[in-house]
Amino acid sequence: MAEECLQQEKPYAFSSPSAVATLLTQLAMGQGSEDNINVILW
């Protein structure tokens, strides 16, 4: 999912890995995760 976000053409592309990490964190929280959410983009 992160790779797809970074490769999309503008205006839908995310400008940085940090923005993708934020999106992934928000998605995890939105699905009910509350404990120890970590996002590492390699």
pLDDT in tens, 14-35: 667 788 888 888 888 888 887 8
DSSP-H helix ranges across 1-42: 2-7, 17-30
Tokens 């959410």 sit on residue: 37
Rounded to the nearest 5 percent, the helix, strand and coil shares of the chain are 50, 0, 50
- Asked if 21 contacts 15 with a C-beta cutoff of 8 angstroms, the reply is no
CB 31 within 8 A of CB 25: no
Give the C-alpha separation, 22 to 2, whole Å: 11
Predicted confidence (pLDDT) at residue 3 exceeds the cutoff of 80 = no
Q: Is the pTM of this model over 0.75?
A: no
